[in-house]
Amino acid sequence: MEILVNLATIASPLISAGIAIWAILVAKATIGESKEIAKKTIADTAYQAYLQLAMENPHFSKGYNADCRHERDPMYDQYVWYVARMIFCFEKIIEVDESFKDVSWEKTLKKHLNFHSEHFKKTKVVEEELYIPSILNLIRCAAN
């Protein structure tokens, strides 16, 4: 019996340490999963916001050419802000690690960016590196 008590005295801290390490690992994994879920929620919300923006501005959703008859086209100014908002939404989607493991996201973003390729060429956003690298890569692919 004394041997069992001594063995339990020795093993108890090791077992407690093992349980504590396991608990830390589980907590770390849970926190990581929660962060990814939050990012996915943000991406979904961002895409919904973009779709809403496109529905509210159908005249911009597939690109816009400025009216050359006027020195300054106020609609083009609005279009520039439309594109900026679209890019912001797309950046939120790209920030989710899992997004580009799903090829459909990449295809979807490229398709929407392609509608605006003339604007991107005109404003030289790629040459001036105005957006994050992953967006610039998508713009390059969409424009070709």
Q: Is residue 31 part of a domain?
A: no
Q: Is residue 19 part of a domain?
A: no
The percent helix, strand, coil of the chain (3-state, each to 5) is: 75, 0, 25
Q: Is residue 73 part of a domain?
A: yes
Q: Is residue 87 part of a domain?
A: yes
Mean pLDDT, residues 85-109? 81
Q: Is residue 118 part of a domain?
A: yes
State the total domains in the chain: 1
* H or E stretch covering 63: none
125: β partners: none
Q: Is residue 8 part of a domain?
A: no
pLDDT at 51 (0 to 100): 94
Min mean pLDDT across 20-29, 60-69, 83-92, 108-117 is at 60-69
Range of the domain at 130: 36-143
Q: Is residue 127 part of a domain?
A: yes
Is residue 144 scored above 80 in pLDDT?
A: no
Mean pLDDT of the chain: 86
Q: Is residue 2 part of a domain?
A: no
Is residue 92 scored above 80 in pLDDT?
A: yes
